[in-house]
Amino acid sequence: MSATPGATPTIVLVGHGMVGQRFLEALAERGLTATHRVVVLCEEPRPAYDRVQLTSYFSGTTPEELSLTDEEFIAAHGIELHVGDPAESVDRDTRTVTARSGLTVGYDVLVLATGSYPFVPPVPGKDAEGCFVYRTIEDLLAIEEYARRRATTGAVVGGGLLGLEAAGALKGLGLAAHIVEFAPRLMPVQVDDGGGAALLRTIEGMGLTVHTGTGTQEIVAGEDGAVTGMKLSDGSELATDMVVFSAGVRPRDQLARDCGLAVGERGGISVDAQCRTVGDPRVFAIGECAQAVDGRVYGLVAPGYEQAETAAATIAADEAEFTGADLSTKLKLLGVDVASFGDAHGTAEGCLDVVYSDSRAGLYKKLVIGRDGTLLGGILVGDAEAYGTLRALTGSVPPVSPESLVLPAGAGAGAQLGPSALPDEAVICSCHNVTKGAIRGAVTEHRCTTVPEVKKCTKAGTGCGSCVKVLGQLVTAELEASGVEVDKGLCGCFARTREELYEIVLALRITSYQDLLDRYGREGARGGDGCEICKPAIASVIASLAPAIGADGYVLDGEQAALQDTNDHFLANLQKNGSYSVVPRVPGGEIAPEKLIVIGEIARDFGLYTKITGGQRIDMFGARVEQLPLIWARLVDAGFESGHAYGKSLRTVKSCVGSTWCRYGVQDSVRMAIDLELRYRGLRSPHKLKSAVSGCARECAEAQSKDFGVIATANGWNLYVGGNGGATPRHADLLAQDLSDAELVRLIDRFLMFYIRTADRLERTSVWLERVPGGLDHVRDVVVHDSLGICAELESLMAAHVAGYRDEWAETVNDPEKLARFVSFVNAPDTPDPVVGFVPERDQMKPDLPLLSIGMRPADDVLEGSAQR
């Protein structure tokens, strides 16, 4: 059939990825779905999904959660969506498109959004069994199944964005992972040599093996045709069972070539500024298949969205054009922040670099500055917190010195430079080209009062999500400037903050969540069940204050049991295959041989996987829920207690051997670490707490990356606070120096209780210290100089905690009623969970993951990482 004069005009969209979906939304916003028939031909067996977040599938995100397609939207706008039925030919003379199924559709407007395909280097053996690409959900399903069935080692060809994500996925599947990159550094497009070096150190520290400056010459297969190894261009060979190609993408322009449309010399359908194809104004091309007027094929989602907007506007006879786009990107690769913006590589004539590098912490920050002081671009590795502000300032002279913008958080004037310093024309959301002025207008003109409302009004924050934090800050600032009271309540159930609720619980000795909700909850929440935000937060507050307010400190007693996070429900860490891990406390990392033997015997008898953690403890993985009390009973009999690896509480106090053994040690760091760990064990807090004690300035225990860290001096102890070695590393700040033992303990008591009292839910000390007005100086005034007159109360609360401490494992194994909850199936308590299975590896066992278990949601701590140290 062909388009018929007088009939309803037809728009045919070929391809239904992220850009294709955005094009449909742009049509609907302009009313074109009401005046046109819209037909979509989609090659994949599922509608559009978030390819940017593809790797999150391996951490529990389901394909349904990745979906960008609302069935109600498709139905409401009468869109004819054909999945699994790609276009195979276009006849521009008759203006028809024919799909694989034989369906032929006439068009008045044809939009090609066919995207790109993975580039596979033409090396011998590339088609062997065990070779994959990393592009679609179906690719991930195939990789997952093959890895589970017959692979122990995997190699990724390509060290760019998708290559690093693919390597992380292989590691997450339990494989030893290698990355092979032809360029001399990882992510060569986004970062320079310094950034690549910082990224390399961090990634190698995660256990991945990186081969840079070498290419793949051949894929070696065995007699059965399956991959057994790789030959590299440097002459070396790599044994591997699986190869994942992630060496870049190429525009999918074959459909355009076949129907005679012009393409670029290096691929990509040639389009003009309105995204019309060259030579045929009825045909448009958008996204990764299109070559823009500047000669680029854009591989980022933000330019694709802008092209989708431009094409829809042109079809609606509105003025719009796409002549180029911002290539700034902010990524999180294997938990490492990587960002680049503007002229990141400093190509402008006469430009200067401002660089901050800390190889130990894996930090690298570079700003490119013009001779007139203009910020031209930059690279951030390891800490991209300032990305939103810096990218928006690009092209202008920052209001503070460039040096302060790259210093660690809290160390310079840049720490106080926030979104308020940006001009209204600064682009906050590059995905949808939303400026600060538009966001302010959403608040002042459209009466938006929440971030979700502003998102709906402007689309800011609905793309890659990297601007959401800045967006929230702008909305809050604009509301406050307008005199509107900002709702800072903990959640929809409570209008008060966590800090205010803490004060209420303490002052009124409230020991029940339900009592607090009924008395101080919002009008519609009283008498209800609460929500998943406030229940664990209030449970933590009550547990923190239990001895002082007369509450039972055991977290699984009565009402408290229903309030806990996933891990706390069973006093153990839930793992990806449904089993649990057990981490007994080993204060200061010191353990007697007899106790080592007990751990070994328990691991042997229960068939558990054992691993030394980063916090100097021994983790035992693979316990079924009904085995937990049996394991705890033997540990308790041997003198062990819970290490609280599952709780928002103190995890470990790490130590070096100190003056007892080390010739450099000036204080007994082991004794101090043990004393501190035993004092603060079981202390429930807004987030997990980690500590360390180093016996000299050589800092072998890495105390400056901890929530509170202690370093010995010739005159006593230096106390550092607010450090974090996790996803956003931060060096701790010096709070006080040359302290005696008693002075040190007193200040830590005060610091921890002040943090517990004033921090927000799930807020690490590092984030809290930067958020508190006045920062470190204010905290020092409070806990050292007692400026608020509350230090006696803080010390009293800590003393009550120390006096009231009880081991949760011992409490459980000695109470038959508590033991009753530790079963896989309540109606069949003796039946083990059949999903929990294991296979041998390296003389131990590892999870045997059926495809069904991948959809499980890990607990909060598991998602965050370093959960069990």
SS3 for 648-670 is: CEEEEEEECCHHHHCCCCCCCHH
In b/e form, how buried is each residue of 134-164, taking b as 16+ CB within 10 angstroms? bbbbebbeebbebbbeebebbbbbbbbbbbb
Considering the domain architecture, whether residues 443 and 548 belong to the same structural domain is answered as no
Considering the domain architecture, whether residues 158 and 219 belong to the same structural domain is answered as yes
Quote the pLDDT of residue 335.
Answer: 66
**pLDDT, tens digit (0-9, with 9 covering 90-100), for 3-18:** 455 579 999 999 999 9
Is 354 part of a structural domain of the chain?
no
Q: Could you give phi then psi for residue 369, rounded to 5 degrees?
A: -120, 130
Rounded to 5°, the CA angle 211-214-218 comes to 105
In b/e form, how buried is each residue of 822-834, taking b as 16+ CB within 10 angstroms? bbbeeeeeeeeee
CA 412 to chain centre: 26
Give CA–CA dist 456/432, Å, rounded: 12
Considering the domain architecture, whether residues 52 and 139 belong to the same structural domain is answered as no
Given 315, 334, 365, which residue is the final one in a domain?
315
Considering the domain architecture, whether residues 294 and 147 belong to the same structural domain is answered as no
Is 474 part of a structural domain of the chain?
yes
Considering the domain architecture, whether residues 450 and 541 belong to the same structural domain is answered as no
Query: Residue 372 burial by CB count (10 A; 0-12/13-18/19+): exposed, middle or buried?
Result: exposed
- The whole domain housing 511 covers 498-564
Q: What is the CATH number of the domain that holds 306?
A: 3.50.50.60
The DSSP output letter for 827 is T
The total of other beta-carbon atoms located within 10 Å of residue 246's CB is 26
Given 229, 247, 265, which residue is the final one in a domain?
247
Beta strands 216-221; 227-232: pairing state: antiparallel
Q: Is 317 left (phi over 0), alpha (psi -120 to 50) or beta?
A: left
Is 645 part of a structural domain of the chain?
no
Considering the domain architecture, whether residues 98 and 141 belong to the same structural domain is answered as no
**Cβ atoms of 371 and 351 closer than 8 Å:** yes
Quote the pLDDT of residue 566.
Answer: 62
For 317, the 3-state DSSP assignment is coil
Please give the span between the terminal C-alpha atoms of the chain, in angstroms, as a whole number.
66
Is 448 part of a structural domain of the chain?
yes
Which of 192-196, 213-217, 795-799 bottoms out in mean pLDDT, i.e. has the lowest? Answer: 192-196
Give CA–CA dist 800/538, Å, rounded: 19
Which of 111-120, 183-192, 465-474, 595-604 bottoms out in mean pLDDT, i.e. has the lowest? Answer: 465-474
Give CA–CA dist 633/810, Å, rounded: 7
Considering the domain architecture, whether residues 431 and 447 belong to the same structural domain is answered as yes
Give CA–CA dist 327/394, Å, rounded: 12
pLDDT band, residue 859 (cuts 50/70/90):
very low
Considering the domain architecture, whether residues 239 and 155 belong to the same structural domain is answered as yes
Quote the pLDDT of residue 137.
Answer: 92
Is 98 part of a structural domain of the chain?
yes
Is 104 part of a structural domain of the chain?
yes
Q: What is the mean pLDDT of residues 707-726?
A: 92
Q: What is the mean pLDDT of residues 476-501?
A: 84
CA-based torsion, 57, 63, 69, 70: positive or negative:
negative
**pLDDT, tens digit (0-9, with 9 covering 90-100), for 316-373:** 999 889 888 777 777 766 667 788 888 888 888 889 998 888 877 778 899 999 989 9
Q: Could you give phi then psi for residue 305, rounded to 5 degrees?
A: -65, -40
Considering the domain architecture, whether residues 234 and 86 belong to the same structural domain is answered as no
Q: What is the DSSP string of 372-404?
A: TS-EEEEEEES--TTHHHHHHHTTS--SS-HHH
Quote the pLDDT of residue 830.
Answer: 66
Quote the pLDDT of residue 6.
Answer: 56
Q: What is the CATH number of the domain that holds 480?
A: 1.10.10.1100
Beta strands 352-358; 375-381: pairing state: unpaired
Given 213, 247, 281, which residue is the final one in a domain?
247
Give CA–CA dist 364/40, Å, rounded: 45
Considering the domain architecture, whether residues 137 and 242 belong to the same structural domain is answered as yes
For 854, the 3-state DSSP assignment is helix
Beta strands 242-245; 227-232: pairing state: unpaired
Quote the pLDDT of residue 855.
Answer: 36
Is 541 part of a structural domain of the chain?
yes
Q: Is the pLDDT of residue 833 over 70?
A: no
Is 559 part of a structural domain of the chain?
yes
Considering the domain architecture, whether residues 214 and 302 belong to the same structural domain is answered as no
* Structural domains of the chain, count: 4
pLDDT band, residue 853 (cuts 50/70/90):
very low
Tokens 């800390």 found at = 358
Considering the domain architecture, whether residues 197 and 144 belong to the same structural domain is answered as yes
